[in-house]
Amino acid sequence: MKQQGDNYKRWDIIFIGLAFFASYFGAGNLIFPPMLGLESGTGWFPAVLGLTLSGIILPLATIVVISFAGGSVDSITSRVSKNFYKIIVGCIMVFANFVSVPRTAAVAAELGLQGIFPKLPYIPIVIIYFILAFYFVRTKENVIDKIGKILTPALALILFAIVILGLVNPVGTPSEPVVSNTFVHSFLGGYQTGDVLVSFMMANVFIGAITSKGYISDSSRNKAVLKASFIAFICLFIVYGGLLFMGAYGGSRFNPTIERSALLVNLVELLGGRITMVGFGIAVFLACFTTAVAQVTAISDYFVELSADRLNYKLTALVVSVIATSVALLGVDNIVKFSNPLFMAMYPTCIALIILGYGRKLIPNDGGFKGGVILTLLYSIFEAILSTGFSPKFIRYIVEIMPLHSYGFGWVLPFIVGLLGGTLIYFFISPKKAEKL
């Protein structure tokens, strides 16, 4: 009986790991890697490493550190402020509702169903998409099971088949890189997948799914999270790396000015014509749909929790779905343009929280958490303002004097200064004053 129970638990972890993969692998994960590959050309291998670091390792490391720190996002953010969890996660949830979730519908329609049936009208597809999503999320129990056991196996098989076909039968040859540093370019491109933000969104849902399987103690929960994250890493690395490789070897056929969506569709069509397009269309729909289901669940659950259960979960999920439907009608490219400044403002702050989470036992007081996060957030907001085209002189000056700014890591020095400065300040103030900060 014990062996049979162990087998059930092993399958539980596999399905949860697949659910991790499916929840991360959505709209951005499909459309960005091929373009990063095309832009990287012969420098595709460093590009794979850059994308792996920002698009796979950082998101999964976030789930791991949240589990090891206590099992909830609040266990990390509380050292910045008691209410910082509500602020940062709230911003992520609103961002996801207006950007991330609608983008999944836009990609599912434009690359998925319209890729198979070009004459299908866009608006009805989006509406039906969110009706189906609401059907899956209307009861939040077992959402992760539904994703991991029902939807993900088909998604993984189709994507793996397309990637393998692209690896053994490249569509062309790579060109010279059009960017100066393919590693840094792809690392920053990995921001656009939004998966570190997804980790902060989904951590409580993921970890809750694991504890519901009987992994109650800290040690058993942490081991389960590590195993599920490893499964997700393997799946994401195969698909990310394969899509980026396919894009790089399309250099002899496509100009880097091509739209992201068009590049991906043309690459798949070159691999096997109509047959691969049908499989690809199904995979696109499933990839986007699983992410939408997971994120709508997380958003709805967050606002129900924030209201102290005064909001009805099902009604909240319906409102979230309606909002996402409305925004999705803008289309993919408009959503991506709108999302870039928001990514730039939030992503470095989330990375700072990850670093602080891993170093939490070495940081002697909460001043380091407060200083590191506040200065990182402030600098990131300045960069986001500049990205919109609005460039006050003092903001531009502050951003451009930072070391590593040209590589996209200008936030590193403010983070270090805030970490050290905040820690020192807390050494010289009374505990009562520190509590009020």
Among 125-134, 155-164, 192-201, the least confident range:
192-201
Contacts of residue 99, defined as CB under 8 A and 6 or more positions apart, other chains included, come to 194, 327, 335, 338, 339, 342
Same domain, 323 and 346: no
Same domain, 293 and 408: no
Domain boundary among 329, 359, 388: 329
Domain boundary among 309, 329, 349: 329
pLDDT of residue 38: 94
Q: Dihedral of CA 203/209/215/216: which sign?
A: positive
Same domain, 63 and 110: yes
Residue 407 has pLDDT above 70, yes or no: yes
Side chain identity, residue 344: M
- Residue 175: what are its φ and ψ, rounded to 5°? -100, 180
Same domain, 375 and 325: no
Domain boundary among 310, 329, 348: 329
Residue 234 has pLDDT above 70, yes or no: yes
Question: What is the rounded CA–CA span in Å between residue 16 and residue 29?
Answer: 19
Same domain, 364 and 291: no
The helix or strand, by DSSP H or E, that contains position 305, with its residue range, turns out to be: helix 274-306
pLDDT tens readout for residues 14-47: 888 888 888 887 766 778 899 999 999 999 999 9
Same domain, 318 and 345: no
Same domain, 320 and 353: no
- For residue 3, tell me if it sits in a domain: no
Task: Write out the residue range of the structural domain in which residue 383 sits.
Answer: 339-437
- For residue 5, tell me if it sits in a domain: no
Residue 158 has pLDDT above 80, yes or no: yes
Q: How many domains does the chain have?
A: 2
- For residue 214, tell me if it sits in a domain: yes
Same domain, 259 and 361: no
Asked whether the beta carbons of 112 and 282 are under 8 A apart, the reply is yes
Same domain, 377 and 230: no
Contacts of residue 386, defined as CB under 8 A and 6 or more positions apart, other chains included, come to 395, 396, 399
- For residue 296, tell me if it sits in a domain: yes
pLDDT of residue 141: 63
pLDDT tens readout for residues 62-97: 999 999 988 888 888 888 888 888 888 888 888 888
Question: Does the predicted TM-score (pTM) go above 0.75?
Answer: yes
Same domain, 33 and 69: yes
Same domain, 41 and 188: yes
Residue 5 has pLDDT above 50, yes or no: no
